[in-house]
Chains A and B, each alone.
Chain A
Amino acid sequence: MASEEPSIVLYTTQTPNGIKISITLEELGLPYKVQKIDISKNTQKEQWFLDINPNGRIPALTDTFTDGKTINLFESGSIMQYLVAQYDKDYKISFPPGTREFYEMNNWIFFLNAGVGPMQGQANHFTRYAPEHIEYGVNRYQNETRRLYGVLDKHLSSKNIPYLVGDKCTIADIAHWGWIASAGWAGIEINDFPALKAWEDRMAERPGVEKGRHVPDRHGIKDLLKDKEKMEKHAAENRAWVQAGMKDDAEKHKGKK
């Protein structure tokens, strides 16, 4: 067994959406191979990758399915749901299907993927990458991100629970962690949300989180946020690929003639 190649391959980059999956895999103790995707070189837009994820985004994951054939998966939320459905038979980081907790867990995963992720992503865009400074855009998305953080903070503090669905850390928590840990990048002060900050620290103490967050490269956001100069350099590098990517997308996806 031990010498066998892992059947799971994770295609990823050092980003909040990427580390959700590596942390999930570490928490479950599953063997997996990592293939690093260089988004600054637009590797995610190459045909071989689009065959795995037609949306051209990381994370994506392939696995040998129960029928012996390969299954291609994308969208971090559905990848997490897949991993626990297939591999978390002891409910280490999930709840049994059909239980109230199971549905609540999914509720928070959707909240992250439809709310915090896209909105904090737009806050990053207008705060760090946009071609021109639009004060309105910065405020709109920082405010919405803060509102969403407030929902999380209140949920944790008013119910006095250590994790989003009670006493157990689940994929709902794991989905949030990378985004909350990089709040400062979007211009959000995490200390304004004390219960959420305490939750972030609690999560960081978990060995699975510690291991999974450094995939495929070191998780450097915390150090970065301490160093203004490095931050500006990092933003400039990202700005270049985000803007090139936007231009490229706008050209390519005008529709068929």
Chain B
Amino acid sequence: MQSIDAIKPIKIHVLPAGPNPWKPVLILEELGLPYSLNFISFEDVKKKPFTDINPNGRAPAIEDPNTDLTLWESGAIIQYIISQYDTNHILSYPSYALKETHLCNQWLAFQISGQGPYFGQAAWFNVLHPEKLPSAIARYNAELKRILSVLDGALEGRQWLVGDKMTFADLAFTVWNDRIEDLILCEKEKKFEGFPNVQAWHERMTSRPAWKKAMEKREKLMDEHGLLPNGMPKGFKSHGEFHASVEAKRKAEAAEVKE
């Protein structure tokens, strides 16, 4: 096995306001692996040169100089980091524990295709979209609760999703769960109301040094780039105002290209 000192820092591209980039960062922190953060702005993420790294124009993406691999999609990145670097199985099970291995992947798949997209849509209709559409808000708020209830049921009588230790599957859920109050605009203390198992599980993970370190890095990076902790650039009054300005800039640029 490679010694940690011999590993060159993994470059990870982050759009710091978004939750998804911090999933792999948290995993890297928990494993104590070296990495460097590269800031991508909201304006640059859908443009070259970043789209040469991720044709889907989304963060995160990684470039690993140790293997010369470029990869995007947070779930695929997490599986890669685990299989390549978690050789001591700090956050995973050894491959001979086949059942646990596959169950970890199952919960990760649920995170990326269940929690992520639906929590994201809840945020869109509650916060970002200027017009209030009650039936769309109700749809995604209900889905958010449904997903919390699936997790709460799975955690009944246990500490972790798979077996008796914390794995990457547990950690993958933290970043979205941590900001529920900003997604559906509820009180912070009430975000897990009715889901005590989820709350205790979430706090077990966010009280760890790795989580705190990752979030400190996030705040620092945001601050350096003039962003408030909620993702809004300093100087804008609302997300709506900010998005309108980005949209206007994009249109102006597109018009320039055409001329």
A-to-B contact residues, CB < 8 Å = 54-56, 65-67, 71, 73-79, 81-82, 85-86, 97-98, 100, 103-104, 106-107, 109-111, 113-115, 117-119, 122, 125, 130-132, 134, 136-137, 140, 148, 151, 154-155, 246, 249-250, 252-257
Contact = CB atoms under 8 A, between A and B. Distances in A.
A144 B203 CA distance: 34
B129 A136 contact: yes
A119 B117 contact: yes
B237 to A, nearest CB: 22
19 contacts: A55-B114, A71-B99, A75-B110, A77-B113, A78-B109, A79-B106, A82-B105, A98-B83, A100-B69, A106-B75, A113-B113, A114-B113, A130-B135, A136-B133, A148-B56, A151-B56, A249-B146, A255-B148, A255-B195
B102 interface: yes
A255 B149 contact: yes
Interface in B119-174: 121, 124, 129, 131, 133, 135-136, 138-139, 142-143, 145-146, 148-150, 152-154
Contact of A132 (B135, B149, B153): B135
Contacts of B84: 98
A73 B195 contact: no
How many of chain B's residues touch chain A, expressed as a range? 35 or more
B149 A253 contact: yes
A109 B79 CA distance: 12
Contacts of B256: none
Contacts of A140: 124
B186 to A, nearest CB: 12
B56 A111 contact: yes
A100 B68 CA distance: 9
Contacts of A66: 98
Contact of B99 (A65, A137, A148, A155): A65
Interface of B: 55-57, 69, 71-76, 79-80, 83-84, 98-99, 102-103, 105-106, 108-110, 112-114, 116-118, 121, 124, 129, 131, 133, 135-136, 138-139, 142-143, 145-146, 148-150, 152-154, 193-196
B136 A134 contact: yes
Contact of A137 (B98, B133, B138, B152): B133
Contacts of A110: 73-76, 112
B79 A106 contact: yes
A249 to B, nearest CB: 5
